[in-house]
Every structure is written in C-alpha cells, then in structure tokens.
Amino acid sequence: MDETLIKVLVVDDDPALRQLLADYLNRHGYDTLLAPDASDLESRIQRFNPDLVVLDRMLPDCDGADACRRLRQLGEDIPIILLTARDETVDRVIGLEAGADDYLGKPFDPRELLARVETVLRRKKGASALIKEKQVAFGPFVFDPATRMLFRSGEPIKLTGGEVNLLEALVNNAGKPLSRDRLLALARDDEGERNDRAIDIAILRLRRAIEDDPKQPRWIQTVWGIGYRFSP
C-alpha cells in the first residue's frame, strides 16, 4: 500500500463488483482494500487504518447496518458509505440511524460512488477542523461539534442525523446566507429527495426544535431570494 494515498476499504460479497470498484477508485488516486464480508471488520480497520469504508448491507455473515452500528458503539468514527440493493426510504433511514455517513442504492454508476466518497471525506475533514473549536453557544443552546449533540439549558435535544448535518452546516457558516443548493451539498440529508422543497422541510423541522416561534425565527433566518442564514 502507498501510505500517501487515501485508503478506502470496500466490503462486499460480490467479487466482480469489488474488483470493479477497486479498479475505478485506484484509477482516481485511491488505495483500495477489499474484503468479502464483515467477519473481521474491526481488526481490518485497526490494521490498515483506512480513511473510509464502503460497506454492503446484504453481507453473507451480517447486515451491514448492524456492522456499522457496532463500530459506532465501539467509538469508531471512520466515515462509512452503505451500499444496498434496496434503495427505499426506510432502508436509507435505517442506515443513517445506524451511523452511516451516506447511502447508495444498487445498481449505481461508479462515478456516483466516487462523488459520494469525495463528499463524505470533505465533510469529515471539515468536521475534524470544527471539533478543534470550542462548543458553539447561542441563547440557551450549546452545539457540541465533537459529539454532534445540541443541548438546551443542559438538556439534550433529539435530532435526526440529517437535522444535525443541516445544523452543523449552518453553524459552520454562521452569518453567511446559504442557498438551498449549497445547503443540500453541505448537509447531504438523504432522508428526503434532493430538492429545494426538501431543504425547506428540513429547515422547518429544525426551527421547530430550536425556535420559540418557528414562524418568527430568531436563529435560522430566511434570506429572501437566496436561502437561509444562521444568526447566533
């Protein structure tokens, strides 16, 4: 292995797909590691220290979502993209709730996987930089980027993974008007369709969680003709 390259571990029981993805990712400058199942996933991660895992859900020895959940319970924060033959909303939600960073349904174009890999790695890099900063306080709220948790007067507020992604994108760009397209790219909320309406609905859910009056928001303001702005 070339230690200077970004390492991607592909876990899939289809040997043809594994090799296809390895060839494609390698051509685009990645060092690709391959595994047919998740039986020794933890030890592979510890041994090879990959930067990202592409993990199939339908593995012969387990559900990839369960393997992802186990890694998160062990405190492993490596970025994970789940693959599945069932590209339905309920399966995407299960994957995201298990701690996956992104979700891709089969069949897919390798170019789409490459785009997902690059997006997740950029987000991870940005989140790592954010973790070095102090907690973000606004009004009675405190957002902890290290744990990706939001507290109000010391009590945790339950948010979905997509809502946390959206809040993190807004907080990380405080004071800047962000278009809906930009928020879609930053938040990557796969719980819904990727369009303007999805962002509007996600903003409404987040406002309901943190605003005293969602119709007259204090923290997440509408910038007419552009999108939204977080104003701490």
The answer on pLDDT for 112 being more than 80 is: yes
Compare 188 and 101 and report the one with higher pLDDT: 101
One-letter amino acid at 30 equals: Y
What are 82-101's pLDDT values in tens digits? 998 766 667 777 777 888 99
**What mean pLDDT do residues 34-50 have?**
88
CATH number of 133-230: 1.10.10.10
pLDDT at 136: 86
Q: What is the mean pLDDT of the chain?
A: 84
The answer on pLDDT for 132 being more than 80 is: no
Tokens, residue 77: 């924060």
Query: What are the angstrom distances between the C-alpha of 46 and each of 5, 12, 40, 121, 192?
Result: 17, 19, 10, 19, 34
Distinct helix (H) and strand (E) counts, the chain: 8, 12
pLDDT at 190: 45
CATH topology of domain 6-125: Rossmann fold (3.40.50)
Element (H, E) at 65: helix 64-73
Among 88, 106, 118, 123, smallest CA distance to 20 is for: 106
By percentage, how much of the chain surpasses pLDDT 90?
37
Model confidence at 37, in pLDDT bands (50, 70, 90)?
A: very high
Q: What is the largest CA-CA distance in the chain?
A: 55
Asked whether 171 and 133 are in contact (CB, 8 A), the reply is no
DSSP characters for 147-177? TTEEEETTEEE---HHHHHHHHHHHHTTT--
* Spans of all domains in the chain: 6-125, 133-230
pLDDT at 133: 58
